[in-house]
Chains A and B, each alone.
Chain A
Amino acid sequence: MVKTIRQVGLKITVSLLKLLVRSPMTGWRRSPRSTTLKGR
């Protein structure tokens, strides 16, 4: 039961995330990543 609720919750969350966000358009984009292991 708990497992089913979790799965449904996860699916809803993922669907909401997909609605909220879109991927950027084609091509190279500037990378914002830190290049150190300590940084994020």
Chain B
Amino acid sequence: MTTPKSGPITGKWLDIGPVTQIEPGSARTLPVAGGEEIAVFRTMQSECYALINKCPHKQGPLSQGLVHGSVVTCPLHNWNISLKTGKALGDDEGCVPTIPMRVDAGRMLLLREAAIGGGIIAPADEVA
């Protein structure tokens, strides 16, 4: 297992502030200069997930969707997207890149390279 050399701000993890900034069951956005906007979700169970803020269907802003369990329903045409994997559920097909993140002492930390690199398309099993 690789480990960071220093604290969250300059290291592998980017600190984007306290988790209390996001109302449970909703999301907020994080634009990336020269890159893709990120939507950071907080579920009713207080789990946090970060995804690129673009529905794989027609680029709907997922951050504005209804969150239920660990799924967000896109506000434009109601596709259901898994917050854990970014994959479209049910009969729909598509996948939105995710950004691994974790919460430490109430602060949200995004995996730096994924955040500025437009996320990664991968099963998010290892996302805390």
A and B physically associate: no
Q: Chain B residues in contact with chain A, CB under 8 A?
A: none
